[in-house]
Amino acid sequence: MERIERHACFGGWQDVYQHASETLGCTMKVGVYLPPQAQFGDVPVLYWLSGLTCTEQNFITKAGAQRYAAEHGVILVAPDTSPRGETVANDPAYDLGQGAGFYVNATQDPWSAHYRMYDYIVDELPRLIAANFPATGARSIFGHSMGGFGAIMIALRNPGRFRSVSAFSPIVAITRVPWGQKALRAYLGEDPAAWKACDPLELLKSATERLPILVDQGLGDEFIASQLKPDILQAACAEAGHPLMLNLRPHYDHSYYFISSFIGDHILHHATALKLERSPS
């Protein structure tokens, strides 16, 4: 990994790295915040998945998360949202192609050549973090909007991999809303089984791990009724007996003003889980 940015921040370092991704077949950028505690030993890792149109820059410059990561002693890892480059397939719309990887493995042309964000987040990126940074084996995951969907979906599909999961304004009913239907149809085709395999509402029904899901949703969010539908997630968790902490925040919208207002609560949630000792399996 090649470091291309470094900024002193709350006693630690906000860095940006680039690397050649074998999974995605392109050069990827990743924001990595190293808290001051990382100077003295290994610390746990918290992965952030951003939303539509974002790069690694949005979270590291707008969320104000470094202050809390420094307080609790966790590494923050914020990758880009899709493969990038002139040879990587794209679409003129903001909600498909570059900047809109949706954290799935595409099976349809022309997307299947590069769009394997699920494998990148689950396998390749954690290996790189473990090999290059003072990281323990404890990890958690959270995200916003498309990234909130990705965080919940990935946590549900990989029991035991993460200590905790949370999301801001997640696209939870991915197969029932326009953003999700467009992306799944393009990346996965019309196969209902492929859609079901990445649908959090379906994954909740068969989840073998009851990892509590923390969600913050702004009630002033312009996408709440058409694209996000937190009431459907609430009903699905209740039916499955899956623990959900859903905070509905009056007046807050879909922006980083909302995220930065409650990011401290989420990092505390994850830091608490990351520092708990697990019983031997």
Q: Which residues are catalytic?
A: 145, 221, 254
Q: Is 233 left (phi over 0), alpha (psi -120 to 50) or beta?
A: alpha
Q: Which of 39, 58, 37, 36 is nearest to 49 (CA)?
A: 58
Cβ proximity of 169 and 221 under 8 Å: yes
Pairing of strands 26-34, 43-49: unpaired
Cβ atoms within 10 A of the Cβ of 172, count? 30
Pairwise CA distance, residues 129 & 32, whole Å: 9
Dihedrals phi, psi of 224, to nearest 5 degrees: -60, -40
Instruction: Give the H or E element holding residue 268.
Output: helix 256-274
DSSP label at residue 111:
G
Contacts of 248 (CB under 8 A, 6+ apart): 217, 219, 230
| Secondary structure (3-state) at 195 | helix
Question: Measured in whole angstroms, how far is the alpha carbon of residue 139 from the centre of its chain?
Answer: 12
| Secondary structure (3-state) at 174 | coil
The residue count of the chain comes to 281
Largest CA distance in the chain: 51
Pairwise CA distance, residues 226 & 223, whole Å: 5
Pairwise CA distance, residues 143 & 126, whole Å: 16
Cβ proximity of 49 and 147 under 8 Å: yes
